[in-house]
Chains A and B, each alone.
Chain A
Amino acid sequence: MRVFVALVTGLLFGMGLTVSRMVDPAKVLSFLDFGSIPTGTWDPSLAFVMGGALAVTAPAYYFDRLQGKPLIGHILIIPTRDDIDWRLASGSVIFGAGWGLAGICPGPAITALSFGMHEFYVFAAAMLMGMALYQYILMPLTGGAPRGAQGTV
């Protein structure tokens, strides 16, 4: 049952990334291109993706906090940390730099594999290597405590 719910929600998520065109690196880069604002050619569409998503997700998290446990499955695993540390700050800057370089973030990197374009295979392979590199080498070297399967948001 948990696996079925995950499959359906993954499908909805992938459909959302497709419909919104988050899967199109050219569109992502033109959204991030604030230098185009003075010329009137800036494409702000993708701000509506986050707006639409937050409008639905925020009430769900509020509901979850009231309820305290998931409908099925075992326990609610929602990150609760609120401290700011160097990992959060430097990781976000590094992630953003990569995102601005290619216009691809992790969700679209996976969904776009369906388009059968070599560029996406290359990007996804490098991204997964980067993740493995951090988890198996960089994190132990820098004394990071092993995280839960979901990471710490």
Chain B
Amino acid sequence: MENFTPWSALAGGILIGLAAAIYVIVLGRVTGISGILGGILQPSRTEVGVQIAFVAGLIAGPFAVALISGPVALPKVTGSYPVLIAAGLLVGIGARLGGGCTSGHGICGNARLSPRSILATVLFMGAGIAMVFVTRRLLGM
């Protein structure tokens, strides 16, 4: 449990929730990141400006945190390039096919108790847990 960080996780979660809340109240849209990225890939004239601005903000996030609270620890990526490519393709296809990801279903959909989002969350959490079990515990990756 030495890596247990409930307070920073909660603080980060509240920031994410605040962003999703402002976005839906002011702009009337769902902050589903895969949906927003999918929108940019197939742009509609009225939405694409907003979507690109949101993505620009997402990218600037770590810089803003560094400005406020000092250097941000670099993440640790364990997967090799072939694994990352396979995982990226699965995440991209799966999130669009399933109509959402951890943000659209996991936060926005669950926040309004959508049955589709609750099922999606159970399924992607389950699949993620199963995948880690197979790769770490059975294959020793």
Contacts and interface: CB of A to CB of B under 8 A. Distances in A.
Interface of A: 2-27, 29-30, 32-35, 40-65, 67, 69-79, 81-84, 87-107, 109-115, 117, 119-120, 122-136, 138-139, 147-153
A103 B93 CA distance: 16
Nearest to B31: A13
Contacts of B116: 79, 81-84, 88, 153
A99 B23 CA distance: 25
B75 A25 contact: yes
B75 A153 contact: no
7 contacts: A16-B17, A52-B11, A56-B20, A70-B24, A96-B125, A97-B130, A133-B89
A64 B49 CA distance: 23
Nearest to B120: A92
Nearest to B90: A98
Given A5-B23, A61-B111, A129-B89, A87 B97 contact: yes
Contact of B123 (A5, A45, A51, A96): A96
Interface in B93-130: 93-112, 114-117, 119-121, 123-130
Given A149-B48, A150-B29, A150-B39, 12 more contacts: A6-B54, A9-B31, A17-B12, A21-B12, A35-B133, A56-B21, A60-B22, A70-B27, A101-B135, A112-B62, A127-B89, A151-B32
Given A84-B119, A153-B109, A101 B86 contact: yes
Interface centre among B13, B81, B85 (most CB of A within 10 A): B13
A100 B8 contact: no
Contact of B117 (A4, A18, A153): A153
Contacts of B4: 43-45
Nearest to A25: B77
A29 to B, nearest CB: 6
B77 A94 contact: no
B26 A52 contact: no
Given A106-B95, A149-B39, A153-B35, A8 B57 contact: yes
B74 A117 contact: yes
Contacts, number: 534
A13 B57 contact: yes
A92 B38 contact: no
A105 B131 CA distance: 14
B112 A16 contact: no
Given A92-B123, A97-B127, A106-B103, A11 B60 contact: yes
Nearest to A135: B42
Contacts of B93: 91, 94, 130-131, 133-134, 138
B15 A122 contact: no
Contact of B83 (A62, A102, A117, A127): A102
